[in-house]
Amino acid sequence: MCLIAFAWNTHPRWRLLLAGNRDEAHARPSAPLARWDDAPVIAGRDLEAGGTWIGVSPGGRCGVVTNVRDPRVPQSGRSRGLLVTDWLRGSADATAHAQALRQVAGQYRPFNLLTFDAHAAYYLGNRPEPRAQAVTPGVHGLSNADFNTPWPKTRLLMTRLQAWLEEARDEAFEPLFAALADERPALDDELPDTGIGRDRERWLSAAFVRGADYGTRASTVVAIDHAGHGQIVERRFGPNGRPDGQTTIDW
């Protein structure tokens, strides 16, 4: 994933409510959201490295990962998508998992990871050094920098999620998908400088990235209630933002 906003333990029904976009090269092979045959995982699947960018388990765990946008950082190590599948397949709680992963986080490509279970949530990263931070109740955001880094698209998605929490009557997720589909770029004086040039910064500053070779491949909403039941909805897109199907799974 490359853009995430989520509400943790702040809604009367949903323990976790998360909305996010996965941006990726369109040529990278992926399988759509499904129940996996070989693991207790509900997720899309990266067919190149075998992991996933976001997923849930039938017991109500959730994991989501983003890369770190910094051309100075080598993209070497184990696939970060395996971090999500290892978390979902595992039995350790979020706190024990965070303590263990921090010891080996340097073995993975640059990552930001969010883990959620019935009792706790953690942000974990490995650049510039391994770290783990417990997530407090409230609305938070993550993109390709650090936890709650105030990039314009992250702030905007957090604001729209907060509005949904305050205004939603029927709890339909369409306003969240509309926020994920926003193609407006940030103003130039708000753009971050991550070393990729102003034109590319502007292009990637929109929530929804449209491109022939690279762009938003999936928009996903996850809702998990306080009993561990929930729903995950994935909308997929091909080159130039072409709609490519939707999958909804309840558990």
Report how far residue 13's alpha carbon sits from residue 226's, in angstroms, rounded to the nearest whole number.
7
CA gap 36, 16 in Å, rounded: 22
| Candidate from 3-12, 75-84, 113-122, 177-186 with smallest mean pLDDT | 75-84
Spatial neighbors of 9 by CB under 8 A, at least 6 apart, are 15, 16, 137
Residue 169 pLDDT: 67
3-class SS string, 67-129: ECCCCCCCCCCECCHHHHHHHHHCCCCHHHHHHHHHHHHHHECCEEEEEECCCCEEEEECCCC
Strands (E), the chain: 3-8, 14-25, 30-35, 42-46, 54-56, 62-67, 111-116, 121-125, 131-134, 138-142, 214-225, 230-237, 243-250
Q: Tell me, what's the pLDDT at 171?
A: 77
pLDDT in tens, 51-95: 999 999 999 999 999 999 877 777 789 999 999 999 999 999 999
- What tens digit of pLDDT does each residue of 153-174 get? 999 999 999 999 998 767 799 9
Residue 165 and residue 137: Cα distance in Å, rounded?
13
CATH number, domain of 59, equals: 3.60.60.10
Residue-range definition of the domain harbouring residue 27 = 3-250
Domain total of the chain: 1
pTM for the model stands at: 0.96
